[in-house]
Structure 1
Amino acid sequence: MLDMLRPYWYPVAPLGALGDGPTRLKLLGEQLVLWKGPEGRPVAMKDLCIHRGAALSGGTIENGEIKCPYHGWKYSASGACTHIPALPPGAPIPAKARAITYPTRAAYGMVWICLGDGSTPFPDFLSDYEDEAIWRQVYVDHYDWKTSAGRVVENAMDFSHFNFVHMGYTELADGPIIKPYEVERNERGFTYAYDDGHLLREYVVEFPFIVHDRKRVTNPAGGKTWSDSGEGSSGDVTLLSFFATPVDENETRIHVMVTRNHSLDRADSEFTGGFGVVMGQDQVIVETQRPEQIPMDVSEELHIRLPDQHAILYRRMLRELNLPAAYMP
């Protein structure tokens, strides 16, 4: 499954975490080195010197290039080796002396990496919320869970557990019985919405591992969640964005962003203060799920159509990753 996920884009760190030295990280089971190249642009490479396999992350950054700690070979941001200290001045550098590089992007305050060729469409849902005069966008934190990215996404999509796992924080205002709702597939993933009498929760799933939960107050008197400010006002929107980055098959780093159009006088840290509690409540449950990977056989777990229809579609889309193109819908 991990090989099938290489064409997609994943956030790996907030931009502010990109320091002056190299950083070692793992994505889809592969060890990478992330560093700041010319003009501050993020550079991602396989954490491997082509010479003797040493980890480039143990080296240094010098004049916009990364230097291997073993024999001092230097690589530019393009991956080309620019200097081999053991060679005499003027000696040619072999054309095969290259580090393996991967496409990167800086977006929404985070560094993104693609382990494919970068041609897969970049997740663009948050681009509509970058007007700071209307919206306040903040990177909350990252959370490391010992489970698969698929399990994380299914949890973020699911609202039928709120009245059991998140009592007192983000319950459905009209109780645990799930009313009918529609799921619509699109070229990027799928969408659905649910109105609990207090909030209209509009979900946008950017396949495979991004979930946006847009909560709009429709009835200020209908209830209260951790994200409401005072009594709240109709039209208040709190957008929760979950980015599940697969470290490997059974370990996931979740990056979380919150965007809002209200309570702008409150400090971001104060506004998002209750979020860690909610994430901790979910982590306790999700890390117990077995198997850690979502079963692809629909008969392995019982599905109830009304509350689970978004998960049924999501699992279908995951199965399609492993199907020949002729079988794709």
Structure 2
Amino acid sequence: MREIKVPGKLFVAGEYAVLEPGYPAIVVAVDRFITAQVARSEQQTLSLPQLGLLNVACRFERGQVILEETDARLDFIKNTIAVVHQYLGERSIETKPFSLTVTSELDDADSGRKYGLGSSAAVVVAVVSSILTLYRDRLPVSKTLIFKLAAIAHYQTQGSGSCADVAASTYGGWLHYTAFKASWLKEKLMEQRDISQLVEEAWPYLQIEQLEAPKELVLAVGWTGSSAKTASLIKKIAPLKNQNSNSYGAFLRKSRDAVSTMVEGFKHNDMELVMASLSANRSALLALSRETGGAIETIHLEKLIEIANRYGAGKSSGAGGGDCGIAFTSTDKLERLHKAWQDAGIVPLDILPATKYN
């Protein structure tokens, strides 16, 4: 039995803009994990005990993965297994049956409510990593390989997204991330190109740079108590983008400038610059929200940020509209920030950056 632990993620800066080729974001892996346990087995099976799915039989027919359970919640895993097995086949590696069990601690343990920590991306990375561990004696496995296979599987299943969450779950820590050109990947996949060739190519615009946070910086995370509806928020922004409006272009520039400034703050250990850039990115998102009626900041997120600004700087994380907000603060102010959040009905989460994991 081999066990792989993969972290969830939180967006720090650059949301929405990162969906455009060449526009950067900062994302951080967090110490809530997806765990995958894999072992050689006589029969190929898949188990997700938290979903009540145990020993689901899995087989291959004409390059397709067939599961005995037709459950939409298995789509990400099903497609990921197919991508990895296609890759192994192209590398002339004979695959053998395995049992795979996947468990999660990304959501609330009691209620099952989602915090917005990127569970689907983390699951995909965990499945890719766990299967590849079975063939390490015959195959060099790198973070780049894991990321690209996971990104292909995630994109094939979801059909959109920046895959910044996939990068965070793959590399860990703080990342300065620029997404690949999604239309390029879609075109390559439609051409039915060999996956082994695709992962060897340079992906247009893709950049992944690991960062070190300023030494005094403390990341605080608060949960609003409601889940975000990411897809519906993105749909509201699509018309603005399609019109090539000046306001959308202005948002992209402001987001890029805020992220670039934050990167400089990280590299120069400059807390003030990092906090100022977090606030600048929030302002860009608020302007976008006003233009589209997307309600990126709910009443609870607005309150979370208002309190965070007393002790440092705060903003929404990810698509907004619910889920978590974040704050940059210092150790001496963290307890007071948590107390103020609690008094306002915001739930402080015991979450830290995941800089090291197996």
Common fold by TM > 0.5: no
Structure with more contact order per residue of length (Cα contacts < 8 Å, sep ≥ 6): 2
Which structure: greater helix fraction? 2
TM-score (norm 2): 0.29
Which structure: greater strand fraction? 1
TM-score (norm 1): 0.31
Structure ID, larger Rg? 1
